[in-house]
Amino acid sequence: MYQTEYNSKLMSPADAVKLIPSRGTLSMGMAVSEPPALLTALEDRVKAGKIDELRVYYSHSITAAAFTILKYEYMSVIKPHPFFPTIVERRLVELGRQDNRRVVFYMPGNFSAMPRTLREIGIDAFIMMVAPMDKGGFFSCGTNADYTVPTARIAKKLIVEVNPKMPRVFGDSSVHISEVAAIVENESPLFSVPDRPLTPLDALIGKHIVEMVPDRACLQVGIGGVPNAVCAALHGHKDLGIHTELMMPSVAALIQCGAVTNKYKNVNRYKNVYTLAAGDEAFYEFLNDNSSMEARPVDYVNDPSVIGRNDLVISISAFLEVGLDGEVNSEAIMGRQYSAPGGQLDFVRGAQLSKGGKSILAAYSTAGKGAISRIVPKIEGPTTDPRTDTQYIVTEYGVACMTGKSTAQRAEALIAIAHPEFREGLRLGARQLGYL
């Protein structure tokens, strides 16, 4: 019944991007949801001098944007406003620094607040990749609900790129054809996340964490070697639940092995809830038409009050450096923005609102091939997680709990899980700060 409307809105990428104003605000789906055909057509408009100034609001760019509109030569008319910068923006920043130009405008904030922020800014046009329309006239954006779906719904013009390779999932992850201004069809491979082999340190840190995870726990798992090691080691657990920001292959494998049932969750029972997903072709096939998989907007998934409604929430994320008072930086290196808070603080707080919940932040004890301690007297970067919120810190040397500890006790606990070569220097730093 919606085919006539579909046909009336179907057009070429070149015609579709004419709906994007030459001066105004644009947002786009993040990561896998970036639409390559539309971005290529928009780059053609830029090259033709048809764009005056476009402020682009987005998170976690990948190759589709990097190879089109996020090129340095377009920075006079394209103004990137990333909420989560990647290597793409870091390269642009460095090129701009060499020319004494500011070309990237980082947007600080927790991931859960991004839909509200974009609504308040006002978005003229939104572009994203979707699965083919279903019988009800809905397009599923299977890998991304996050800010993608909420912002698509409030943008003045919504332009979708239909890709049959995009999985169709359940939850709150679709837009209706009545909300769509233009449709483009383009079959292309989905962005694939490279597999990272586990290291002995990943396995050792994972072992410390797994000992803290009971049966029936509800998991939030971040990206990286340690979370992958944790998932692999949890295959013998029973009746686990999933309520996570990121759905990835290691979590899918945990679901497929039977360790996950979601039967003891208090909200979204029997469902694997996530807000974005990334993996490989087999992973996307697992997501497709799987009624246990529910993608929901980030202002729901990452809302600490929602997270805390489930019991035994175990949140596992990474950090870059932690101060001896428990303050954590997970986003900047040597004072320069490297990534972003993402949803880390959302889950740090949400897990501790959960009955029996635990917030765990994990990392190798050193960086720079052993030359730099991640445990420091005082963090240099911005505060991602205030010392008032942190709970468990884990390295290969063990677990330090911040709860109920004085500053002196926190310092002692963190020094004990630092690399041995740095412990004496940390003790000196703690005395200079008045902690010991």
Q: How far apart are CA 275 and CA 173, in angstroms?
A: 9
Q: How far apart are CA 400 and CA 169, in angstroms?
A: 39
DSSP 111-173: GGGHHHHHHHH--SEEEEEEPPP-TTSEEE-TTB-TTHHHHHHHSSEEEEEE-TTSPP-EES-
Q: How far apart are CA 350 and CA 402, in angstroms?
A: 16
Q: Are 361 and 412 in contact (CB under 8 A)?
A: no
Q: How far is CA 76 from CA 27, 46, 65, 106, 238, in A?
A: 18, 10, 16, 16, 55
Long-range contacts of 411-420 (CB under 8 A, 24+ apart): 411/324, 411/325, 411/435, 411/436, 412/436, 414/322, 414/324, 414/326, 414/375, 415/324, 415/375, 417/365, 417/375, 417/393, 418/365, 418/373, 418/375, 419/365, 419/366, 419/370, 419/373, 419/395
Helix (H) or strand (E) run with residue 210 in it: helix 200-210
CA angle 27, 112, 156 (to 5 degrees): 30
321 is catalytic: no
**CA 62 centroid distance within chain:** 13
CB atoms within 10 A of CB 15: 12
CB atoms within 10 A of CB 10: 14
Q: How far apart are CA 266 and CA 311, in angstroms?
A: 7
Long-range contacts of 70-76 (CB under 8 A, 24+ apart): 71/43, 72/96, 72/103, 74/43, 74/46, 75/101, 75/103
Catalytic residue from among 245, 294, 321, 331? 245
What are the catalytic residues? Answer: 245
